[in-house]
Amino acid sequence: MRLRALLENDALGLRLLGGEDELDRGVRGVMTTDLKDPSRYLSGGELVLTGLAWRHSAEDSEPFVRILAGAGVAGLAAGEAEMGDIPDDLAAACSRHRLPLFAVNESVAFATITEYVVRQVSGERAGDLAAVVDRHRRLMTSGPAGGGPEVVLDLLGSDLDLHAWVLSPTGRQIAGAGDELPPSVSATLAGEHLAATRTGRRGPHRATLGGTTYSLFPIRNTGRGAAPASRDVRESVLSDWLLAVEADAGDWPAARLDLLQGVTQLIAVERDRREAARTVRRRLAQEVLELVQTGAAPAEIAARLRVAAPVLLPGLGTAPHWQVVVARVDWDQESTGRPGSAATAIEAGPVAQSLLEEILVDPTAAGPDSSDRIAVAHTGEEAIALVPLPAVPADPEAQDAKATDEGLYADALLSSVRDPLSAGLADDGRLTLGVSAAVSSAEGLRGAL
C-alpha cells in the first residue's frame, strides 16, 4: 500500500505534517516503538508509530529521525496523547531527512492503525491470507469474546493449516491452537530459539525434533521489560516471546513469511497490553521495596503491605505471609567488547524483572492468569519479587524445616527453565536467584530482603 492511502481513511485520525512529495512510498509493515534506537528491529518500508517517550529534549529528535531514515522506513506517525502538539524540532528533523511525518489524534489507538496497515499489506501480497488478516481485530478486543492470541492461532490453523504456539523465553506455553506442546518440546524449542537468536541471525529459525520441523519467529518485546537498544542481542532474547509454527518456513514464498511477521506484530501488541496490566502490581512492589530500603517505620511498611495483599490475593481476607525472591543477570563484559559500567548495571534491571516474572509463573500453567499474583520491582541490576503466601505451616517445627528449604525452592523454580535459559545465557551469562524465608511482619520483610 502507499502512504497516501493512510490519509484517505478518516478513521485513522492521521494528519500530515510534512513530506507531501513522498506519499507514494510503499508501506510493507508497521512497528510501534519508543526506543531511542530501534534500528535492530527495522528492515525498511515500515510505518513507525511512536508515543515520543524517547524524546527528553529537542536534541533527541535529529538522531532518532536519522536512524529511521537510514533504515529506509516509509514514514513516521507520532501520537498526540502524551505531549499534545508534535514538537517543531521533530518536524524539522523529518523535513531535513525527507521523512514523511504524521500526527496521530489522541482518540485513535496505535492498534487501529496497525490493524489497518497489516490488513491492507497482507491482502495485497497474498490472497489466500486475506481471511486471517480481515478477522484479526478480535485479537485487540478486550474480554472473553476477543480470545487474545488464540484467535489468530486458530485462524492460522483453519485458513492455512498451520499449527502454531506462542512460547515464553523459558518455554512456557502462553497460547496455542489445538493440542498443547509437550513441556519437553516447548522447552527445547525455546532453547533452540535463544541459541539461534544469540548469533544475530534474523528469524525465522528452524529446529527439527522427532522428525517434525518447527519454524521459530521472534516476537519482539518493545514494552516495559524490553532490553535497551544500546545493549547487545544476548540480553534482548531473555525477554522476547516466540511463535513456534509446525512447518518448514524455508520453503515459503515471501508473501507468507510477511504474513507471519504481521502475526508476530499483532501478538506483540497483545503482550504490551498484558505488560500494562502488570503496572499496578509492579508499582506496589516498588513502593514496598523503597520503604524497606530507606528504613521507613514498620507501621508505614505494614500499611503498604495491607494495600498490596488484596491486589495480589483477592478474597483472602487477612494479610498473608510474604517471601522475597531476587534475580540478577550478569554478563561477561569482555566477550561484548564493552567495559562494565554503572550505566550497564542499571539497564539490566528491567530485563531481570521480566525474566523473574516469567520464572515465578507456575510452569504447568498456560495463559496470562497465572501471573496475576506476581509483583516484581527492580533496582539497579537486580529484580526483586514480593511473593504472597496464603498459608504457612502452623507447626513451629514445620516452620523451622521450611526455613531451611529456600535453597530447594530456588532449585525448583529453576528446574523447568534451566535448559532453555542455559541456551540463552551460554558460556558468558549467569542467572543468580535468591529466596528468603517466609515472614509475616514489616520488620521480618526487612530481614528477608
Are 38 and 181 found together in one domain? no
Phi, psi of 177 (to 5 degrees): -115, 125
- 432 to each of 4, 237, 320, 325, 356, how far by Cα in Å? 51, 17, 26, 11, 11
Please tell me the distance from the alpha carbon of residue 172 to that of residue 164, in angstroms, as a whole number: 14
Domain containing 17 — which CATH number? 3.40.1390.20
Structure confidence at residue 75 (pLDDT): 95
Does 138 map to a domain?
A: no
Q: Enumerate residues 6+ apart whose C-beta is below 8 A from 8.
A: none
C-alpha cell at 136: 484479526
C-alpha cell at 175: 497460547
Are 216 and 290 found together in one domain? no
Phi, psi of 30 (to 5 degrees): -130, 145
Q: Which one-letter amino acid corresponds to residue 435?
A: V
Does 115 map to a domain?
A: no
Structure confidence at residue 370 (pLDDT): 52
Q: Residue 303's domain spans which residues?
A: 279-448
Which residue among 208, 242, 277 closes a domain? 277
Establish whether the linkage from the previous residue to 204 is cis, with ω within 30° of 0. Answer: yes
Say what the pTM is.
Answer: 0.63
Are 89 and 207 found together in one domain? no
Are 86 and 153 found together in one domain? no
Please tell me the distance from the alpha carbon of residue 63 to that of residue 36, in angstroms, as a whole number: 8
Are 333 and 435 found together in one domain? yes
Does 73 map to a domain?
A: yes
Q: Enumerate residues 6+ apart whose C-beta is below 8 A from 439.
A: 321, 322, 323, 445, 447, 448
Structure confidence at residue 428 (pLDDT): 82
> What total of structural domains would you count in the chain?
3
Cβ–Cβ under 8 Å, residues 139 and 266:
yes
Q: Exposed, middle or buried: residue 254 (CB in 10 Å: 0-12, 13-18, 19+)?
A: exposed
CB atoms within 10 A of CB 176: 22
Does 409 map to a domain?
A: yes
Q: Exposed, middle or buried: residue 307 (CB in 10 Å: 0-12, 13-18, 19+)?
A: exposed
Instruction: Return per-residue pLDDT of the chain as tens, 449 residues.
Output: 789 888 888 888 899 999 998 998 888 889 998 899 998 888 888 999 999 989 999 999 999 999 999 999 999 999 887 777 899 999 999 999 999 999 998 888 888 898 888 877 765 544 444 444 444 444 444 333 445 678 778 878 877 778 999 999 888 888 887 778 888 899 999 999 988 888 777 778 989 998 899 999 988 765 544 544 445 566 667 878 899 999 888 878 777 787 788 788 888 877 887 777 788 888 888 998 899 888 889 889 888 888 888 887 776 656 678 889 999 988 876 554 443 433 344 467 788 888 888 888 865 555 445 556 678 988 878 999 988 876 555 554 544 444 446 667 777 788 778 888 888 888 888 888 899 988 888 888 888 98
